[in-house]
Structure 1
Amino acid sequence: MHQLFSQVLSQRDLSRAGDLFSLEDSDIEDCLSQALDQIKNISCSPVSMHIYHAYLFKLIQT
């Protein structure tokens, strides 16, 4: 996996997420499936779901 993808996804370093748009397609084509799998795992984790539900609850209250 591209080092930047790994940093953003594995370490959840969102401060570098915008830098992903500067990568050439050819630099990341080989790792897209792996990156999508990690994104699925992150989004389905109990912590992510808890944060999502808390965010929705806050939106409903406003």
Structure 2
Amino acid sequence: MTTTSLQLLTVPEAMTRLKLGRTKIYELIRTRRLVSITEGRARRIPESSVQDYIRSRLEEAA
């Protein structure tokens, strides 16, 4: 069985990783291009979701 390390990012961390603004990050979440979870008022974005988004953008650009 393989174990993968799942890291959850805050919105500001996702903004930094993607070099995008807060509004764009929430738009990506709303349109389901970025997956996120909420716990209470805290929203977290799995790092794998950020990587998937980058991968899909690269495929669109190719």
Query: TM-score, structure 1 length as denominator?
Result: 0.32
**Structure with more helix by fraction:** 1
Greater relative contact order structure (CA < 8 Å, 6+ sep):
2
**Structure with more strand by fraction:** 2
Structure number with larger C-alpha Rg? 1
